[in-house]
Amino acid sequence: MEYAELFREDLIQLNAVFRDRKELFETIYKELLEKELVKNTFLKAVENREENYPTGLQFENLSIAIPHTDVKHIEQPFVYICTLEKPIPFIQMGTSDTLIEAEVILVLGIKEPKEQVGMLSRLMEIFSNKEFIKAFKNTDSESEILALFKKEMERTVE
């Protein structure tokens, strides 16, 4: 799978404002359902998965969350990118109670289970790169964000 192909400009939302994680998930779910990328079971599945297996990640200069769920809830593969004007608390991956203030949400919709692990690993690698973080924080348009992610995803040959 070519990870770069999962990124689309119409699946990027910049400087979004949500009251909480529930509103964030509901809003993104409605958009994904409308685009026929997820099944109607996706919202409940992603909320349940986040409760049981938190996806918050704290990097040196940025906090992100990578919500995702089982492949059976996905119609077409995608990565949805959402930057937040006001961070939303997520529990840090690998813990049950450590909160991080997520500034960026990347919702993964992967159709192949083995690809999900690869994509998560690749995203963690990218967000560990200080140059990427700097470039990411300095982009202010959906097209620039798309180009940045596509360039980074194509950089690694699997």
Chain segment 36-86, per-residue pLDDT in tens: 999 999 999 999 999 999 999 999 889 999 999 999 999 999 999 999 999
Provide the whole-model pTM: 0.94
For the stretch 128-147, pLDDT in tens is 999 999 999 999 899 999 99
Would you say 61 and 130 are in contact if contact means Cβ atoms under 8 Å apart?
A: yes
3-state secondary structure (DSSP) of residue 156: coil
With tokens 């470039």, the residue in question is 135
Alpha-carbon distances, residue 114 vs 46, 66, 71, 118 (angstroms): 18, 16, 10, 7
**Distance between CA atoms of residues 92 and 98, nearest Å:** 6
Q: Taking 60 as the threshold, does the pLDDT of residue 158 lie above it?
A: no
**Domains along the sequence of the chain with CATH:** 3-152 (3.40.930.10)
Alpha helices in 35-139 (DSSP H): 42-52, 113-127, 130-137
Contacts (Cβ under 8 Å, ≥6 apart) of 80: 11, 12, 13, 28, 31, 32, 105, 106, 107, 109
